[in-house]
């Protein structure tokens, strides 16, 4: 078993469709510049209301990635 050191960042993704879509959007965008992402945890979920309905999901996640050698 190898030892790992992780750095954490926090991201907020948004979606008009779903919580999952908001998380995936944040991860896909981060993957363009951050490598070796390993895990995420949902820190906060909230949304915008319009006309009495959910208009947008906002999900904040903490992402862990391994440091490059």
Q: Render pLDDT for 32-52 as a digit per residue (tens, 0 to 9).
A: 999 999 999 999 999 999 999
Asked if residues 50 and 58 have their Cβ atoms less than 8 Å apart, the reply is no
Q: Is the confidence at residue 3, as pLDDT, over 80?
A: no
pTM summary value: 0.88
For 4, the token pair is 């790992």
- Order of strands, sheet of 53-66, starting from the edge strand that comes earlier in the sequence: 6-15, 53-66, 37-50
Residue 43 sits at the vertex; the CA angle it makes with 13 and 11, to the nearest 5 degrees, is: 35
Local structure of residue 57 (DSSP, 8 states): E
pLDDT digits (tens, 9 = 90+) for 7-21: 999 999 999 999 999
Provide CATH code, domain 6-66.
3.30.1660.10
């Amino acid at each position: 078993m190898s030892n790992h050191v992780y750095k954490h960042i926090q991201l907020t993704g948004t979606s008009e469709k779903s919580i999952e879509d908001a998380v995936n959007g944040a991860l896909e965008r981060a993957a363009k510049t951050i490598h070796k992402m390993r895990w995420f945890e949902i820190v906060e979920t909230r949304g915008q209301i319009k006309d009495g309905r959910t208009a947008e999901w906002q999900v904040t996640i903490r992402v862990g990635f391994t440091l490059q050698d």
